[in-house]
Chain A
Amino acid sequence: MLIETRGLSHTYMPGTPFQVEALKRVTMSISAGEFVGIIGETGSGKSTLVQHFNGLLKPTGGEVLFEGNNIWTGEMNLRGLRSRVALLFQFPEHQLFEETVFADVSFGPRNLGLGGRELDERVRFGLEAMGLDFSAFKDRSPFQLSGGEKRRVAMAGILAMRPQVVILDEPTAGMDPRGRRQFMEQVSRLHREERLTVILVTHNMEEVARLAERLFVFYHGEMLLQGRPADVFGADSLIKDTGLEIPPLSELLQRLRRQGKGVRTDIFTVNEAAQEVLQLYRKECV
């Protein structure tokens, strides 16, 4: 197991009238090379959870393990861990601070002690992995880019550390549909080609159903469900009790199924669903 939590709990501001129990005894595990999705209504504890994976938050109960070692027992170097488990925060464009894109993207690798050719290559890798041309962007000011470009630069800064795991906290919130699709395609390619482990926190059910191999569903700080998207969004799943909606395609296929039609319901792309419906049409109407 790459990342594991055992009975992980987190309470914000304990002992004050403002105390919030954001996570309650969460036990879960994620293997190397997986693409997992974390979903749940707003305030269900997703962001709190992922900040435990790289030691930004310290559990108030239970433990977090990386490659089988508890990250808080003292032997683990937290800065080292953070370069291997990278986290892209919500609205990451707000963390940009350098005068040029190059300087900003290189902040992470520089903190790892890199310089010279290696640094150049890391920055180039990060920018190009996000579909930004190295020579066109490296000398521009990050503050003069468009919102979508800023976000890619922020993501490039994470990738330039060459992490094993990237955690993305609502990476496409507020982007236009095309930008969103491109962004997720680039992430998905890194997952396939570089065997990057991806942990995606999102409110976009369609996206996560299509991309993730496994889903964890959170509700009021507890992990209520986990499994393959087909099971989590399946007909007899508890998902609707958690305040989430299932993707429209699944809804359609499940309704057809309920009417006694023989369609598959574990499909999450428009192309495949179209095939399925066409087949049904040919079988029944021709």
Chain B
Amino acid sequence: MSGMHSITLGHYLPGNSLLHRFDPRAKLLSLLIIITALFLVNTFNGMLFFVFFLLVAFFSTNLPWRYFLRGLKPVLYIVFFTLVIHVLFTKGGQVFWRFGMLTIEERGVYLGLFMTLRLILLVIATLLVTLTTTPIAFADGIEFLLRPLRFLKVPGHEIAMMMTIALRFIPTLMEESDKIRKAQMARGADFESGNVFRRAHSLVPLLVPLFVSAFRRADDLAVAMESRCYHGGENRTKMRQQQITALDYLGVLTACGIAVAIVFTGV
């Protein structure tokens, strides 16, 4: 139960901060710029600037920090794994510790910490965007960013629509799987004990009804869309017309400025 709802990645929290009001297109563009910069920076000082910048951004949003930290939980394993791999296998510099074949060396510790920090900052930046943007606005932003690729025949609108639908149905399907799991547990199903094969087998009573219901929902949705004469992106207008304001330009410029400054002073 609690496991189901601890996945907050992309779970929008309503609010009225500057980041909440930031135009989704501008917000996504800024996120792209910041992420690129995060990949380019390769000094600790540069990273510290990012830490400072993201902290300021975080506090400006008034998001509850507990909730925010929970969103970081799913990536902690990857972060930990990265750290361990670097510390154990990257060689160079002073040797801190030796045990048979294994050594821990200066360069490994340095790179490990650096990569870890980079990963965490990447997730924080992304969370700051997904937690302050409604899924619909998010998809609108994606569609906008994919527009230049139209000439390569990338179906921007369709991709955005698929994303919206997928995002919309994640909570529904989680609820559904929770319900089916409980219904089968009420019939004595055991999802927890036994070896890998037994456990995989015990998932059948969960997965079959889940797929049946997902297909039923998909079918219903397709009928509903068709009966409203939905057709793809060409000439389609939007209910919520987003107006880019001076503030949004300023936001993107700030992101650019910070990125350029950090990358060029840090390198």
Q: Does A40 contact B (CB under 8 A)?
A: no
A contacts with B, residue count (CB < 8 A): 29
Q: Does B187 contact A (CB under 8 A)?
A: yes
Rounded to whole angstroms, the CA-CA distance of A13 and B190 in the bound complex is: 24
List 8 A–B pairs whose Cβ atoms lie within 8 Å, in order of A's numbering: A17-B67, A83-B188, A94-B183, A95-B183, A95-B205, A111-B189, A143-B212, A158-B186
Rounded to whole angstroms, the CA-CA distance of A158 and B187 in the bound complex is: 7
CB under 8 Å from chain A, chain B span 149-190 = 176, 179-180, 182-190
B13 and A17 form a contact (CB under 8 A): yes
Footprint of B on A, CB under 8 Å? 13, 15-18, 51, 54, 56-57, 79, 82-83, 86-89, 92, 94-97, 107-108, 111-112, 143, 157-158, 161
Interchain nearest-CB distance for A120 vs B (Å):
18
A94 and B186 form a contact (CB under 8 A): no
B182 and A82 form a contact (CB under 8 A): no
A92 and B205 form a contact (CB under 8 A): no
For A143, the closest partner residue in chain B by CB is B212
Q: Does B66 contact A (CB under 8 A)?
A: yes
**Which of the four size classes fits the interface of chain B?**
20 to 34
Residues of B within 8 A of A51 (CB): 182
Q: Does B208 contact A (CB under 8 A)?
A: yes
Footprint of A on B, CB under 8 Å? 1-2, 5, 13, 64, 66-67, 70, 176, 179-180, 182-190, 204-205, 208-209, 212-213
Q: A56-B185, A112-B188 are in contact. Are A15 and B205 (CB under 8 A)?
A: no
Q: A16-B67, A17-B64, A57-B1 are in contact. Are A87 and B205 (CB under 8 A)?
A: no
Contact of B66 among A15, A87, A89, A97 (CB under 8 A): A15
Residues of A within 8 A of B182 (CB): 51, 56, 89
For A79, the closest partner residue in chain B by CB is B188
B190 and A97 form a contact (CB under 8 A): no
B66 and A79 form a contact (CB under 8 A): no
Rounded to whole angstroms, the CA-CA distance of A83 and B212 in the bound complex is: 26
Residues of A within 8 A of B67 (CB): 16-17
Rounded to whole angstroms, the CA-CA distance of A65 and B187 in the bound complex is: 20
A157 and B187 form a contact (CB under 8 A): yes
A94 and B180 form a contact (CB under 8 A): yes
